[in-house]
Chain A
Amino acid sequence: AQSVSQHNHHVILSEAASLELGCNYSYGGTVNLFWYVQYPGQHLQLLLKYFSGDPLVKGIKGFEAEFIKSKFSFNLRKPSVQWSDTAEYFCAVSRYNTDKLIFGTGTRLQVFP
């Protein structure tokens, strides 16, 4: 079965530190890739997505992610985090042209001033 792994369950950083959250998936075919963010007490919002083309995609709030097909990875990065980035981050994958997302278990990010 297709699965999505987020190995960092809880990350604690100071403001201005760089961030990289890992995401690996197990499906070998064409995939669509997503990162969603859930701020405390809020619903999930799309941060960025990859469908095709340039494997480095940029999202909102300075986030970016790189699709490395050979590694089945879609890691999320931000060069300098802010306190307001404190949230839970979910990677999600869908097989090309299908109707379901498979979510990872999430990474809780805490940023301290």
Chain B
Amino acid sequence: NAGVTQTPKFRVLKTGQSMTLLCAQDMNHEYMYWYRQDPGMGLRLIHYSVGEGTTAKGEVPDGYNVSRLKKQNFLLGLESAAPSQTSVYFCASTKWGESYEQYFGPGTRLTVT
């Protein structure tokens, strides 16, 4: 199993540009999450999904949109990137009703200039 994978690994955007980050998991997990990691702030939840076709806001959802069209994929979109969105983005997944342990992807380092 590949576990949780993220595409791309690195990206540099100019202010106002848009992009989509892709997260894929092959563990048949129902729940998927997008976090951002910033120095001194830990991980903050952006959006999450409890199943195909459903999404919900997390702690810091503004400026981001998500979609879960397939169970194994969770997309994070930035419609108009801002320098404040420079961060490392992690995707995670977990299986409902078991240990609630979240499995993380390798991260995407995004820089907005």
Chain B interface residues (CB < 8 Å from chain A):
31, 33, 35, 40-45, 48, 50, 58, 90, 92, 94, 96, 99-102, 104-107
Contacts and interface: CB of A to CB of B under 8 A. Distances in A.
A23 B42 CA distance: 13
Contacts, number: 47
A46 B3 CA distance: 14
B105 A105 contact: no
A104 B104 contact: no
Interface of A: 6, 9, 32, 34, 36, 42-46, 49, 51, 90, 94, 99-101, 103-106
Given A44-B90, A99-B31, A103-B43, 19 more contacts: A9-B40, A32-B100, A34-B101, A36-B104, A42-B106, A43-B105, A43-B107, A44-B104, A49-B99, A51-B99, A90-B42, A99-B48, A99-B96, A100-B33, A100-B48, A100-B58, A101-B102, A105-B40, A105-B41
